[in-house]
Structure 1
Amino acid sequence: MIKISIFLTRRADLTHEEFVEYWTHKHLPLIASVTDGAVPVRRHVLLLPTDDEIPGLRSTYYDGVVEVWFDDIADATRWFTSAVFTTTVAADEEKFLDRSLTRFLYATETPIVG
């Protein structure tokens, strides 16, 4: 399996709260409405930042992170280049994301604990 972590930054004209509201109440239902068994996504998780800090540890800030699992990079490519993604999902992202600041991390997992 491959996991893609997608680091999201909101549009400059939106507050973090407006970003979260749109992302969770409009964008996610849109994704749910266009996906079916043909979409090769195995798992889809959203991460929202907290205000927590640990002294001495530097952090970076993103408005949110999406983690998406696929069987392999071919399935990920098929999803991210599909007509449904490019014409519906990516088009809707323009309403709340600064897509020029979106970053992708392609990774495999090696469990250490649990």
Structure 2
Amino acid sequence: MIKISIFLTRRADLNHEEFVEYWQKHTALITSLPGGEVPVRRYVQLLPTDDEIPGIRTAAYDGVAEVWVDSVADAARWFTSDTYTTTVAADEENFLDRSQTRFLYATELAIFG
């Protein structure tokens, strides 16, 4: 299993609340796609809080999407599919600065919990 963390930055003309509101609409678009087309096992949205710890720098992202897939090949098939490029990526233009989006491909090593 591969976990992909996708670090998201909103478009400059949107405030954070507008970004979050549109991201929810975007998620509804993805879940409305025909079954079997999205090879995702799990999807989680991480939304930052206003919390700060003095002396510790926080990341400047508006959110993180966590996506679990069986393999990088499944992720590649999805992110290069016609559906993704013509529907999902096109809709991302409405709320993301896609030039700032970053992907981290990872496996989990559970230490405790």
TM-score (norm 1): 0.94
**Shift in alpha-carbon separation, 1:61–1:32, aligned structure 2, 3 A:** same
Give the RMSD, CA atoms, in angstroms.
Answer: 1.0
Partner Cα distance (1:106, 1:40) in 2:
15
Q: What is the CA-CA distance between 1:113 and the residue it aligns to?
A: 1.1
Gaps of 5+ in 1: none
Deviates more, 1:99-108 or 1:27-36: 27-36
Q: Which runs of at least 4 in structure 1 moved beyond 4 Å after TM superposition?
A: none
Any idea what SS the aligned residue of 2:32 has? helix
Q: What is the CA-CA distance between 1:35 and the residue it aligns to?
A: 4.6
Partner Cα distance (2:7, 2:36) in 1:
26
Partner Cα distance (1:106, 1:79) in 2:
14
Gaps of 5+ in 2: none
Question: Structure 2: which amino acid aligns with 1:27?
Answer: H
Residue 97 of structure 2 aligns with which residue? 98
**Shift in alpha-carbon separation, 1:64–1:79, aligned structure 2, 3 A:** same
Q: Deviations over 1:29-63 (max 9, x none)?
A: 10111151342111100000001112232211111
Partner Cα distance (1:28, 1:38) in 2:
15
% identical equivalent positions: 75
Aligned residues: 113
Partner Cα distance (2:19, 2:55) in 1:
29
Residue 12 of structure 2 aligns with which residue? 12
Partner Cα distance (1:59, 1:18) in 2:
21
Give the alignment of 1:1-114 within 5 angstroms. 1-24=1-24, 26-114=25-113
Partner Cα distance (1:16, 1:56) in 2:
24
**Shift in alpha-carbon separation, 1:99–1:40, aligned structure 2, 3 A:** same
Partner Cα distance (2:28, 2:71) in 1:
25
